[in-house]
Amino acid sequence: MIDQTRIDQLRMAPVLPGSHIIDGKAVASASGATLDVVSPIDGTVLTHIAAGDAEDIDRAVRAARAAFEDGRWSGLAPVARGRILQRIAEAIEAEADTLAVLGVRDNGTEISMAIKAEPGSAAATFRYYGELCGKEYGQVAPSAPGTLGLVHHEPVGVVGAIVPWNFPMMIGAWKIAAALAVGNTVVLKPAEVASLALLRLVEICHEAGLPDGVLNVVTGTGAEAGAALGRHMDVDVLAFTGSGAVGRKLLEYAAQSNLKRVYLELGGKSPAVVFADAGNLDKVAAVIAGGIYRDSGQVCIAASRLLVERAIHAEFVERVMAHASKMRVGDPLDLRTNAGAIASEAQMTSILAACEQAKGDGADLRMGGARMAAETGGYYIGPTLFDNAPQTSALVQNEVFGPVLSVQPFDSEGEAVAIANGTSYGLAAGVFTRDISRAHRMVARLRAGVVHVNTYGGADVSVPLGGHGQSGNGHDKSPHALDKFRNLKTAWIQL
Ligand code: NAD
């Protein structure tokens, strides 16, 4: 278990500049360009990373294609691939403290969450897909006598993976480990504000025995490196996690290039629905506060809308605020911190603008809504709560991706469902009730890829996460994620 002394040593460690990793080697951008890496903890420049463009992406895709075609990875027995993925899991665990602190210095997630959600989840994901290698079967079709129909799974080839700045190791692993498990090669483009931990994770993969060229990484901006990956003619599948706006662009790039399959894991505006029969309301209020304010709300499934039955509305909002006001916001490298920094100055500005708009749209600001600890130079916003938010307001309809909770009362189960489903999103939801029939009815009626019942968050790698509505079109995690990264091939045989 990581302790404060260890964290305080690691937080002072020098941070080396980041390069691309192509064909197993660290390389600079062809243009020589770099990007500064700013720590959201205090606004200082930590180091710089290579700023890749189309030329670097092309080098990486060519390396990935060569590695795929010569069978150095796809040609291994599945169990042999699985052993390497499991070795990667062990290596990540062995270096968990260093990885976690490096990642926090880059993106500001509080260390108490990052240690489990980042190296912890990444290692669990590599282990899970490593164990799955060699356990998946093809199919024999129920064809007529005299014919044999076989359905084979094949890897797609070269997978492009573009990931966001929140939980880069966890989300990166969801894509990398599943794509590698079925024999593909990968070109990864991390977010420009959170590349450092992923770069180290890719080095670890090589140290654990992954052959050169199988996993390549190009850092840089979305507009340059990301778009070049999306437009590349030799990428077979693109797996993306990020905003809807960029997801739309990736679909356009695919249409303009080689019609690559594009899987999108996008944002959310997830409702937590609390009924008067939820049981211990104080415990539920603590879960609600954690569900929106941990990692300062920069969680795709954050429960950013609270729908509460009118009979307990006023009392329950007071309880949520009481828990929120006890949360420590600040230095993400202090183990006592419950909510760390906003990942970038631009994201902080966007959250504060959303708060101003919510005030103008008639929601009642009950707490927060302002920058905190500006004297540190870091980017912090305290838990923010708007009561009685109008259903049509931007606050209710648009993802803020910050520590901002909107509250709406409801009178009936039907009204709760209508409010909950009344946005374009459908990523996650929560239901709090002791009535088991009502819980099942709500699971069926809520439009969401995951519905939590009497809890919020924490679903492990064994279950899929995918968006309904405009929250996406694919799944990460579980055996279902493998389908993104393989083709079906039929052999139809006359006997
Ligand atoms: P973003 O869409 O701005 O960026 C995501 C990635 O796309 C980054 O690597 C970025 O460099 C790249 N990118 C930007 N413009 C691009 C372009 N034109 N072409 C190709 N790539 C481009 O998202 P973000 O701000 O980094 O992350 C936050 C978003 O991610 C939120 O909407 C959040 O809900 C979502 N998210 C979803 C899930 C999920 O599982 N559904 C998980 C985490 C985060």
Cα-to-centroid distance, 48 and ligand 1 (Å) = 21
pLDDT tier at 249, thresholds 50, 70, 90: very high
Helix, strand, or coil here: 44? coil
Q: What is the DSSP letter of 43?
A: S
What value does the mean pLDDT of the chain take?
Answer: 98
pLDDT of 131 reads 98
d(CA 217, CA 169): 13
Q: Specify whether the CB–CB gap between 21 and 49 falls below 8 A.
A: no
166 pLDDT higher than 90: yes
Question: Averaged over 128-138, what is the pLDDT?
Answer: 96
pLDDT digits (tens, 9 = 90+) for 476-495: 999 999 999 999 999 999 99
Amino acid of residue 25: K
Q: Whose CA is nearest to atom 10 of ligand 1?
A: 222
Residue 336 token pair: 């006592």
pLDDT of 112 reads 97
pLDDT digits (tens, 9 = 90+) for 59-97: 999 999 999 999 999 999 999 999 999 999 999 999 999
Residues of the chain with CATH 3.40.309.10: 271-460
Residue 451: strand pairing partners: 429
pLDDT digits (tens, 9 = 90+) for 294-334: 999 999 999 999 999 999 999 999 999 999 999 999 999 99
CATH class of 271-460: alpha beta
Cα-to-chain-centroid distance, residue 431: 22
pLDDT digits (tens, 9 = 90+) for 237-246: 999 999 999 9
pLDDT of 254 reads 98
Active site residue 136: no
DSSP 157-198: SEEEEE--SSSHHHHHHHHHHHHHHTT-EEEEE--TTS-HHH
Active site residue 203: no
Q: Specify whether the CB–CB gap between 242 and 192 falls below 8 A.
A: no
Cα-to-centroid distance, 318 and ligand 1 (Å) = 34
Binding-site residues, ligand 1, Cβ < 6 A: 162-166, 171, 189, 191-192, 221-223, 226-227, 230, 241-243, 246, 249, 265-268, 300, 399, 401, 427, 465, 467, 472
pLDDT of 89 reads 98
471 pLDDT higher than 90: yes
> Would you say the pTM of this structure is higher than 0.95?
yes
Cα-to-centroid distance, 112 and ligand 1 (Å) = 24
Q: Specify whether the CB–CB gap between 406 and 300 falls below 8 A.
A: no
Residue 269: strand pairing partners: none
Residue 27 token pair: 């390389």
Residues of the chain with CATH 3.40.605.10: 4-266+472-492
- HSE at residue 368, side-chain half, CA atoms within 13 A, is 28
Fold exhibited by the domain 4-266+472-492:
Aldehyde Dehydrogenase; Chain A, domain 1 (3.40.605)
pLDDT digits (tens, 9 = 90+) for 392-440: 999 999 999 999 999 999 999 999 999 999 999 999 999 999 999 999 9
Residue 100 token pair: 């976690």
Cα-to-chain-centroid distance, residue 226: 17
Ligand 1 mutation target, pool 269, 300, 423, most atoms within 8 A of CB: 300
pLDDT of 120 reads 98
50 pLDDT higher than 90: yes
- HSE at residue 255, side-chain half, CA atoms within 13 A, is 6
pLDDT tier at 1, thresholds 50, 70, 90: confident
Short-list 234, 240, 256, CA closest to 63: 234
Question: Averaged over 186-191, what is the pLDDT?
Answer: 98
Residue showing tokens 């190009």: 218
